[in-house]
Amino acid sequence: MQSQSHAFPERAVHALHDQTLQVALRRAKDGFAVKRAVAVAGLPEFDALRDRAVQIKNHTLEHLDHYLEQYAEAVERSGGTVHWASSAEDARRIVVEICRAADAKMITKGKSMVGEEVGINDALEGAGFEVVETDLGEYIIQLAHEPPSHIIVPAVHKTRGQISDLFHENHQKYGLTRRLTEVPEMVNEARLILRDKYLAADVGITGANFLIAETGTNVIVTNEGNGDLTCSLPRVHIVTAGIEKVVPTAEDASTLLRLLARSATGQDLTTYTTFSTGPKREGDPDGPDEYHVVLIDNGRSTMLADQFREMLRCIRCGACMNHCPVYGAIGGHAYGWVYPGPMGSILTPLSVGLKEAGHLPNACTLNGHCADVCPVRIPLPDLLRTLRHQEYQLHLGAKRLRWGLAAWVWFTSHPRLYRLGTRVQARMLALLAGRKGRFTRMPLAGGWFRGGRDLPAPQGETFMAAWHRRQRDPGQRAQAQRNLDQREQAQREQGQ
Amino acid sequence: MSPSSDGTVPAEGKAPSQVHPRVGLFITCLADIYRPNVGLAAVTLLERVGCTVEVPQSQTCCGQPSYNNGDLDGAARTARHTIAAFEEFDYVVAPSGSCAGMLRDYPRLFEAEPAWRQRASDLAAKTYELIAFLTDIRGLQAVEADFPHAVTYHDSCHGLRAMGIKAQPRRLLASVRGLELRELPDAEVCCGFGGTFCVKYPEISGRMVADKATQIGETGAAAVLGGDLGCLLNIAGRLGREQTGVRVYHVAEVLAGMADLPGLGDPPAAGGLKDPTGPAGGSR
């Protein structure tokens, strides 16, 4: 997918003024955070599980080559085929080739963020296949020709009214002409349409939540059951997965599953957890004839080798964006690529480059809420700061900020000058603000005021000056001494 | 004031042996320039718990602007300066969770310089945010102060998450005579300040602080308190723009009984909050 991250500031402002989007965001914001908090409170061992999850992920990443080989062997043993894609282009080519070889016409898809990352849909449609997203949220944004705005609820930015319009417009061709306004009606209509697609599909493509190395099993979680129908009904099942999805054992996957849904939607478990291993065996009532796994690197092995390795622990739960006040204000599309929010602000520059996506690591207050809720304890603010450091070293940021910082460091390294400068500044600002006590505008400080706020004026005297005055005043010094004496007396009384 | 009634007794097992530890006050650039009263309040509180307070004249900034904008060399330069100014003290205390948190992060700046790394670690180990220092280290359990008003409290993110400050200010505020604390629904959600973030992305920052101001208004509190001047300037700026009349004070000013002056961004002639007989009153 083509990145628009360079235009983040404009896209963010646009999002802030999009009233429909703001309605959708406000509705979503509280839901996730509250549900997660309730789920976490109901599981006393949640933090211990997080520690265990970090261990599992770190261990796997440390031995990633080993576990990938183990996984690939297990897949082949079960009759499946493993394909290695080092780039997005490779991944697209491999998937298109499998579909061509299967003589496919209709392809159903389960939700897959890595599929979005490498641009599977466009490649397949460009090759002449009909592609249908079966996750309801993905189905909606496919109709709207939009990318997902959230990694687990891709259509979170859409209101019911917008979805009603989309269905009305796109379902006419199926003879469904009545405009629907109630959610259950709309869900039923989508279900009706998707059912025929499932039955007609030649190929089903899903992502992976976990790949179990010991058994060659793919695990996906859904709430709609669309994953089961996508991987078991068509003749061919293709799994697209990032190489970091592998875990050693089913036990490890189970540990991570306990964290995933709680962190994502506040559920103990998602409605469906689907395990698929290889193609249909003799005697199996259903399942695909062919089972393919496309293991996608696309920059992940580079991350493994550098200071962003911890990012590969990410299990794509979305908790970081659900708790991010910036995401909550602007939604996912402003970020301009596939992954939004805190995790996206790290993955996007690593994928499309800091020059293109330099805004993202900067558009963060470093408030730390994301790291607080991350089930695998990724130090997201630290990684964002590391990206800012790289940006600084590459001279990519705004020149004015760079000069400003240099001037500030010089100023703060000269205490006498600093004392004088701050005294003058405090006095001047207090005088200029006058009786009002605050500024409504100020030259060279436009950014502050563009945030729709005044600037409080200083009291007038710096603390350092006030402190000096106090030190020279014998009365004040005596008071300080009395404070200490009282304190000693209190301690003596306490001791008795 | 009766000395035994203010509860300034070190908690058992936590307190250091010193009766009168030497505390270096790291005033922070924002308190120094914008709100000297916060520094004076900090000194008062620290002296009440038996500390000898000194204010090194060579101190300037904690280095956070450089650190958070990727200029790690600049941050290290500032850090060396701060370390040299403060390493002689028993403790370093700042009326800001954000700046104290920065001092705690100093060792990270010296990965390749073992000697400085050691000095940075030594400094980090004795650096505290003011309120946490008063309660956790000096065992302060109650203060001697009046503030007969309904207030609400904003948990500044760095204090909350990097320094674990949540219960401490509430415990002390509970002892302020007449004060009624009305919790903010999203007390732990960022106000949108974020250092240079607020000027780099002012529209996003503005939305965040507008939401915060709305929630503050909905509590009906007469004043909002917090522990970090960056956040408080941002919040006061928005409340002032909306002309809500809600006062903004640093929590130390209230705890020291020194909030008898106009709040942040109020007209100098506004004086302290009027004793409430009106609807915003905190009488219980």
Q: Which of B43, B67, B201 is opposite residue A9, by nearest beta carbon?
A: B201
What digits encode the pLDDT tens for the residues A18-57?
A: 999 999 998 887 789 999 999 999 999 999 999 999 999 9
The whole-angstrom distance between A469's CA and the closest CA on chain B is 12
Assign domain B22-136 to its CATH architecture. 3-Layer(aba) Sandwich (3.40)
Coil, helix or strand for A25?
Answer: helix
Q: What percent of chain A has pLDDT over 90?
A: 90
- Any domain includes A30: no
User: Are B234 and B192 contacting, i.e. CB atoms less than 8 angstroms apart?
Assistant: yes
From first to last of its 284 residues, what are the pLDDT tens digits of chain B?
333 334 444 444 444 447 899 999 999 999 999 999 999 999 999 999 999 999 999 999 999 999 999 999 999 999 999 999 999 999 999 999 999 999 999 999 999 999 999 999 999 999 999 999 999 999 999 999 999 999 999 999 999 999 999 999 999 999 999 999 999 999 999 999 999 999 999 999 999 999 999 999 999 999 999 999 999 999 999 999 999 999 999 999 999 999 999 999 999 999 999 877 554 443 33
- Is residue B183 within 8 A of residue B120, CB to CB? The reply is no
**Residue A355 located in a structural domain:** no
Token pair of A114 as six digits: 């890595």
Q: What is the pLDDT of residue A484?
A: 66
Integer angstrom CA distances of residue A431 from A203, A269, A427, B247, B248: 74, 61, 6, 21, 21
Q: Which residue has the tokens 């687990």?
A: A152
Q: Are residues A294 and A442 in the same domain?
A: no
User: Which of B57, B72, B268 is the closest to A389 by Cβ?
Assistant: B72
B152-161 burial, b at 16+ Cβ within 10 Å, e below that, comes to bbbbbbbbbb
Residue of B51, B204, B264 to mutate, interface with A, max A Cβ within 10 Å: B204
Residue B248, beta-bridge partner list: B224
Give residue-wise pLDDT tens across range A351-380. 999 999 999 999 999 999 999 999 999 999
A409/B59 touch (CB, cutoff 8 Å), yes or no: no
Residues A297 and A415 in one domain: no
Those residues with Cβ within 8 angstroms of residue B8's Cβ, 6 or more apart along the chain or in another chain: A487, A490, B48, B49, B50, B138, B139, B140
Chain A positions touching B211 (Cβ under 8 A) are 329
Which domain range does residue A162 map to? 43-304
Q: Are B20 and B51 in contact (CB under 8 A)?
A: yes
For residue A397, list chain B residues with Cβ-Cβ distance below 8 A. Answer: 69-70
- Are A134 and A250 within one domain? yes
CB contacts of B194 in chain A (<8 Å) are 364-367
Q: Which helix (DSSP H) or strand (DSSP E) does residue A322 occupy?
A: helix A319-322
Residue A83 to residue A149: CA distance in whole angstroms: 29
In this predicted model, what pLDDT tens digit does every residue of A67-102 receive, in sequence order? 999 999 999 999 999 999 999 999 999 999 999 999
Q: Are residues A113 and A260 in the same domain?
A: yes
Q: Cβ contact (<8 Å) for A412 and B55?
A: no
Chain B partners within 8 Å of A372 (Cβ): 161
Which of A247, A207, A211 has the alpha carbon at shortest distance from A54? A247
The C-alpha torsion from A226 through A227 and A230 to A236, rounded to 10°, is 180
Give this complex's ipTM.
Answer: 0.93
Helices of type H across B152-255: 157, 163, 167-173, 197-200, 202-219, 229-241, 251-255
Query: Distance between CA atoms of B42 and B254, rounded to whole angstroms?
Result: 11
Nearest CA in chain B to A34: B186
Beta bridge partners of A455: A439
Nearest in space to A157 (alpha carbons), one of A317, A25, A26, A30? A25
Q: Could you tell me the pLDDT band of residue A446, with boundaries at 50, 70 and 90?
A: confident
Q: What is the pLDDT of residues A469-490, one digit of tens each?
A: 988 887 777 777 776 676 667 6
What pLDDT score does B280 carry? 44
Q: What is the pLDDT of residue A473?
A: 83
**Based on the domain organization, do A292 and A421 belong to the same domain?**
no
CA distances from A86 to A90, A218, A295, B202 (A): 6, 20, 8, 40
Residue A396 φ/ψ, nearest 5 degrees: -95, -25
- C-alpha–C-alpha distance, residues A372 and A387, integer Å: 20
Task: Report whether A373 contacts A324 (CB < 8 A).
Answer: no
Q: Is-contact B76 B55, C-beta < 8 A?
A: no
Whether the CB-CB separation of A288 and A98 falls below 8 Å is answered with no
Strands B150-154, B223-226: pairing is parallel
pLDDT number for residue A192: 94
Among chain B residues, CA nearest to A451: B206
Residue A261 domain-assigned (yes or no): yes
Chain B residues touching residue A14 (CB < 8 angstroms): none
Cα(A121)–Cα(A127) distance, rounded to whole angstroms? 10
Identify the CA nearest to A237 among candidates A284, A204, A197: A204
Kindly state whether residues A144 and A269 are assigned to the same domain: yes
**Residue among B32, B201, B264 whose CB faces A463 most closely:** B32
Domain assignment present for residue A15? The answer is no
Token code pair at residue B72: 């790690």
* CA nearest neighbour of B67 among B158, B144, B128: B158
CB atoms within 10 A of CB A77: 12
What is the rounded CA–CA span in Å between residue A431 and residue A434?
5
Asked whether this chain's domains B22-136 and B142-270 adopt the same fold, the reply is yes
Contacts of A494 in chain B (CB under 8 A): 4, 9
Q: Which amino acid is at A122?
A: D
**Sign of the torsion formed by the C-alpha atoms of B14, B17, B19 and B24:** negative
CA A37 to chain CA centroid, Å, is 18
pLDDT of residue B2: 35
Query: What b/e sequence results for B49-58 when a residue is b if at least 16 CB atoms lie within 10 Å of its CB, and e otherwise?
Result: bbbbbbbbee
Domain count, chain A: 2
The reply to whether residue A463 touches residue B70, judged by beta carbons under 8 angstroms, is no
pLDDT at residue A488, rounded to an integer: 66
Domain for residue A102, yes or no? Answer: yes
DSSP lists the bridge partners of residue A204 as A108, A237
- What is the chain B residue with the closest CA to A15? B204
Distance CA A261, CA A270 (A): 6
Tokens of B54: 């000194």
Query: How far apart (Å, rounded) are the C-alpha atoms in residues A245 and B169?
Result: 43
What is the β-pairing status of strands A236-242 and A217-222? unpaired
User: At A1, is the pLDDT very low, low, confident or very high (cuts 50, 70, 90)?
Assistant: confident
B57 and A426 within 8 Å at the Cβ level: the answer is no
Neighbours of A39 (CB within 10 A): 18
CATH of domain B142-270: 3.40.50
Question: How far apart, in whole angstroms, are the C-alpha atoms of residue B284 and residue B209?
Answer: 30
Residues A363 and A353: their CA atoms lie apart, in Å, by 16
pTM: 0.93
The DSSP output letter for B8 is: B
Between CA B44 and CA A53 the distance in angstroms is 47
Same domain? For A65 and A198 the reply is: yes
Q: Is the dihedral of CA B199, B202, B206, B209 positive or negative?
A: negative
Per the prediction, chain A carries an average pLDDT of 95
Of residues A402, A453, A458, nearest to B237 (C-beta): A453
Q: Phi then psi for A349, rounded to 5 degrees?
A: -60, -35
Instruction: Look at residue A465 and give its three-state secondary structure.
Output: helix
CA atoms of A142 and A155, how far apart (whole Å): 10
Angle at alpha carbon of residue A396, lines to A395 and A402, rounded to 5°? 60
Long-range contacts of A183-187 (CB under 8 A, 24+ apart): A186/A160, A187/A136
Of A364, A447, A489, the CB nearest to B3: A489
Domain boundaries defined on chain B: 22-136, 142-270
Q: Provide the pairing of β-strand B150-154 with B127-129.
A: unpaired
Q: Does A19 reside within a domain? A: no
DSSP, collapsed to helix, strand or coil, labels residue B108 as helix
